Structure 1
Amino acid sequence: MQQPVRIYDVITANLASQPSAPALEYGDHRWTWTEVDDRIRRLAQALRDAGVEAGDRIATLDKNNAACLELTFAASLIGAVNAVVNFRLSSEEIRYVLDDSQAVLLFAGPDFVPIAAGLAAELPHLRRIVALGGEDDEYEAFLAGADPLTEVFAADDDTAFLQLYTSGTTGRPKGAMLTHRSVGSHTARVAPAYDMDARTVNLVAMPLFHVGGTCWALGSMYAGGRTIVVRDLVPDQLLALITGEQATHVFLVPAVIGMLTQVPGIGEAFASVKVLGYGGSPMPLPTAQAAVATFPSGLYSVYGMTEMSGTFCVLRPEDHRDADRPHLLGSAGRVIAGNEARVVDPATGHDVPVGQPGELLIRSEQIMSGYWRNPAATAATITDGWLHTGDIVRIDEEGYVYVVDRAKDMLISGGENVYPAEVERVLTEHPDIAEVAVVGAPHPTWGETPVAYVVPAPGREIDPDALITYARERLAHYKCPTSVVVLEALPRNAMAKILKQPLRDRAEQLVNQ
């Protein structure tokens, strides 16, 4: 297959070459390429019949469901965009994303219809909620009631069709607009990078609101393989699925891989797996060493981001098992062909010498077109065609990338990005708090965990447990502090800027007690 000009070429190329081959699976449902094409074209027409126009956003709010992929493809056929909502967010955060996206239709899973219905009155642009699965399933009837679409929207390379939200240092999620060019380029590059072909049996266990879910799925579909969408990542069920379906490709976060290395006989369960990818957070060295010793699979470390439509750097299996260069286990790998990398001094923007740390900039066709309705953030992130990753890295003489620090103070807990500014914004709304600073502390299972340092308002006292409960009512649980430390004052420099490094050092001691 050649690089897709439009993302739907992923479907039409396989429809032409292997119409009766298995394409997509979800639960008890199995569809061939012919059936997938028919379903998506009916869905596209149903969207158009419901008044969805080019440029409109629809939204999907559910755990992993093959319907989310169908909606993404269907939206692309009519020039619309599927905004996939992180189902782990609090209701307040979900309301913000739905409001920001201006979604006109919402497809909500059975666990989320009540939340969506409660928010509908606050979202005048939302015309309809379609129940997705469960006893009151409306999705199948919505799809089946339409004729297959015949008039496809004339999209260009820079037309967006997928919108995934990434939190930012402003404390509010930003919608990254992913286009035919960006996702098509990514798909064409990573499928061979992961050795995907028509024999691939790919398990999609990562959430589809992540590029590690949706764009991982698109890779195997592009290659003509069989793609299996896993609704919930339950270890016992996952292992049964791997052995029962003889899966060849699996992608997980390091925390899950660390848990699996403790399961007796896990290597035998992974005998069919050729590619075990991992990413979303750094792999602790002991976990990486245990994975190398445990799994017969080819290990692939993935470094990517939403704004890049997914992966742009891979550490391949031979690097994981290079006895002469064990330090490579601490690397994020090398930049995939077709992407250009620079390391610059954040203060001057000038390139730094090889091996010296600086901010990583990437130039690539994989880059998003920008943040939805946020030109200021777009301009700050993409300059002269270069994407500012916000990560401080060094690149050695052989091109291996080593992540040194995260310039934007982001921490990663269980594969999920947590931005302290977002948590701080919520906590400072509590009447008992005058100031707050959130930092990450090492965690043996989740990689990192948020710790909040708080200064009470005059005449107030702070109950740490009550503050954690307060946060959990307003934020996804993975973003909430697991520890709260009350201080008389936060450490500051001469310019009155809060010094977070002493707080990180103290948090590490706190967690290790």
Structure 2
Amino acid sequence: MSADPTAGLTAPLQVIARFRDHDFTLHDFLRARVEAQPDGTALEFEGRAWSYGQLDGLVARWAGWLAAKGVAAGDTLAVMAQNDPNTVALLFAAARLGAILVPVNPDYGVPEARYVLDHAQVRGVVVSPDRQPVAEEALEAVPNAQGSPAWVAPLGAALEAEIAAAAPWTAGRGDADDCCLIIYTSGTTGFPKGAMHGQRGFVLTAEAFVERLWLQPDERVMCVMPMFHVNALMYSVGGGLACGGTIVLVRRFSASGFWRTVAETRSTEVNLVAAAGSILVQRPRSEFVPGHGLAKMFVAPQTRAMVDSLRDELEVPLLIECYGMTEIPGVISNPFAGPHILGTMGVLCRHPDPRIERPRARIVDEDGQDVPPGTTGELLVRTPTVMQGYYRDPGQTEAAFQNGWFRTGDLVRLGEDGFYRFVARKKDIIRRRGENVASAEVERTIAECAGVADVAVIGVPSPLGEEDILAAVVPAPGAPHDAAAIIAWTRARLSAPKVPRYVAFVDAIPLTPTHKPAKHRLREDPTLMQRAIDMATPA
């Protein structure tokens, strides 16, 4: 690649200027692209393709079908499925009605799904056929906001036929400031919080991603991350549509088939989490396909070994490191044109259009006062892409903001070079496999296991990047030290990223003077990992 990675590329503002101005609704955002290139390929999935015009038609029929089911403005509906084109259509269809999509992790067990579906007060759930029993059990005795049982619609030929026969919705387009998406993210209490995003924020994030990755009109954005994450929905799906390119949708991430899929689909850009990047560089080189055509990858956090392997061995010339949260997508990133400073969050991003408000950031001390560069403090952000609040949780919403600034709960420092550097999390959250795992939720689950008297869960360094989970367990008197039983109990009740990798049996959990678990003392114990039992499933 040229020393200047932007050489020969169309500038981001010119990329989005190919389409007429829109009103910041998802409907008008998509229509602007349909009008400019109705026959251009918008979406590909497992050998099928949808043009922009066909995608717009699918959205209109989904909206008509939802309206016939009684979905109206302000209603919530969930999708609990692996990546599927219908999730893209559902998002835009719900927004057209002024309704709200709630993407749910399809790997959730019944208790996890029940909490989210109940809290979100969903009117209905679209599911993968294999997840239908889980959704139905989770919805038992859970009325929606209208007081009636929620419906469950399994994806498949029968539903496709219903959608194809539905009358296209033409009665409305939603409003730019309507909430269109609620993404549940774990909080320090262990109970997931629903971050609400408006249509305007979604569109601004999508267009800003064109700037972050210099997406081109012929970009082929491969979406392998699950579509219950901001990464997949706003960066891959939103970014792919914003530049007028093609979304190459993949059902789920497969490390063994990754390079073959990249080559077969002619993908040019992909967004990953650190764990996926680390797995790829450790895979057998027999799976690699030389000359694949993937030109750029958005992945964070990065390590020197990951960068060297991906760039020099696996032929991905440009790797962009960033920082993000579900609540504030698209705020800080290493600049596409450089410099790229390994191990940094990057600098404040911008929207391609100079008329759009720029994100701002502050680093403050415990008293909320700004600290000088080089000093560690909590990162506060103000951005037009910030969430609208936490759904049905005014207390958490109020706590998340300080005079209009979003409190990230992350400790960072600003270098003299203008780059932000992550230091630590104030919140007791473990970052694992691209997900935020609340230790309190894992602790509550393990505490209910027979033979467990007390437990504390902490994050420990993972060889794949990010963190693994260690459970420090105090056995009940006379109970066996049965790590396998604890893991089996947890695996039956929580999704895979929340299941601890390590179990360490201890005599007592250290406490603070206020009788809270002193987790810092566990982390500082050099013998804890030596005593821990590695319960990783063999590859």
> Helix, strand or coil for the counterpart of 1:394?
strand
Show the 5 A alignment for 1:82-101: 82-101=101-120
Q: Is this contact kept in 1: 2:378–2:407, CA < 8 A?
A: yes
Query: How many Å separate the matches in 2 of 1:500 and 1:120?
Result: 36
Q: Do the aligned partners of residues 420 and 393 (structure 1) sit closer, same or farther apart at CA in structure 2, a change above 3 Å counting? A: same
Q: Give 1:293 deviation, angstroms.
A: 3.0
Q: Give 1:273 deviation, angstroms.
A: 1.8
- Matching residue's letter, 1:334: V
> Helix, strand or coil for the counterpart of 1:422?
helix
Aligned counterpart in structure 2 of residue 467 of structure 1, from 483, 486, 489: 486
Q: Indicate the larger mover: 477-486 or 403-412.
A: 477-486
Q: Do the aligned partners of residues 261 and 457 (structure 1) sit closer, same or farther apart at CA in structure 2, a change above 3 Å counting? A: closer
Q: Give 1:457 deviation, angstroms.
A: 4.0
- Matching residue's letter, 1:273: L
Q: Give 1:39 deviation, angstroms.
A: 0.8
- Structure 2 partner of 1:329: 342
Aligned counterpart in structure 2 of residue 276 of structure 1, from 293, 297, 300: 297
Q: Do the aligned partners of residues 267 and 467 (structure 1) sit closer, same or farther apart at CA in structure 2, a change above 3 Å counting? A: closer
> Does residue 159 of structure 1 match 2:170?
no
Q: Is this contact kept in 2: 1:260–1:266, CA < 8 A?
A: no
> Does residue 131 of structure 1 match 2:154?
yes
> Does residue 351 of structure 1 match 2:370?
yes
Aligned counterpart in structure 1 of residue 213 of structure 2, from 189, 194, 197: 194
- Structure 2 partner of 1:293: 312
> Does residue 46 of structure 1 match 2:62?
no
> Does residue 245 of structure 1 match 2:265?
yes
- Structure 2 partner of 1:143: 163
> Does residue 5 of structure 1 match 2:24?
yes
Q: Give 1:435 deviation, angstroms.
A: 2.4
Q: Is this contact kept in 1: 2:95–2:174, CA < 8 A?
A: no
Query: How many Å separate the matches in 2 of 1:443 and 1:473?
Result: 23
> Does residue 425 of structure 1 match 2:444?
yes
- Structure 2 partner of 1:303: 323
Q: Is this contact kept in 2: 1:390–1:408, CA < 8 A?
A: yes
Deviations 1:218-271 (A, max 9, x none): 111111001111002123433222112221111122222223234437886464
Q: Is this contact kept in 2: 1:3–1:185, CA < 8 A?
A: no
TM-score, with structure 2 as normaliser: 0.88
Q: Give 1:292 deviation, angstroms.
A: 3.8
Q: Do the aligned partners of residues 504 and 204 (structure 1) sit closer, same or farther apart at CA in structure 2, a change above 3 Å counting? A: same
> Helix, strand or coil for the counterpart of 1:46?
helix
Query: How many Å separate the matches in 1 of 2:316 and 2:204?
Result: 30
Q: Give 1:491 deviation, angstroms.
A: 1.6
> Helix, strand or coil for the counterpart of 2:247?
strand
Query: How many Å separate the matches in 1 of 2:466 and 2:53?
Result: 43
Q: Indicate the larger mover: 299-308 or 356-365.
A: 299-308
> Helix, strand or coil for the counterpart of 2:26?
coil
Q: Is this contact kept in 2: 1:4–1:185, CA < 8 A?
A: no
- Matching residue's letter, 1:329: L
- Structure 2 partner of 1:215: 234
Q: Flag structure 2 segments of 5+ consecutive residues without an equivalent.
A: 1-15, 351-357, 535-539
Size of the alignment, in residue pairs?
A: 499
Deviations 1:50-75 (A, max 9, x none): 10111111110001111111000000
> Does residue 17 of structure 1 match 2:36?
yes
> Does residue 260 of structure 1 match 2:283?
no
- Matching residue's letter, 2:170: T
- Matching residue's letter, 2:152: I
Query: How many Å separate the matches in 1 of 2:379 and 2:22?
Result: 27
Q: Is this contact kept in 1: 2:42–2:51, CA < 8 A?
A: yes
- Structure 1 partner of 2:400: 381
Q: Do the aligned partners of residues 511 and 254 (structure 1) sit closer, same or farther apart at CA in structure 2, a change above 3 Å counting? A: farther
> Helix, strand or coil for the counterpart of 2:342?
helix
- RMSD between aligned alpha carbons? 2.2
Query: How many Å separate the matches in 2 of 1:403 and 1:175?
Result: 25
Aligned counterpart in structure 1 of residue 418 of structure 2, from 375, 396, 399: 399
Q: Do the aligned partners of residues 451 and 208 (structure 1) sit closer, same or farther apart at CA in structure 2, a change above 3 Å counting? A: same
- Structure 2 partner of 1:230: 250
> Helix, strand or coil for the counterpart of 1:306?
coil
Q: Is this contact kept in 2: 1:57–1:81, CA < 8 A?
A: yes
Query: How many Å separate the matches in 2 of 1:9 and 1:270?
Result: 38
Q: Is this contact kept in 2: 1:105–1:129, CA < 8 A?
A: yes
Percent of aligned pairs sharing the same letter: 33
Query: How many Å separate the matches in 2 of 1:6 and 1:463?
Result: 54
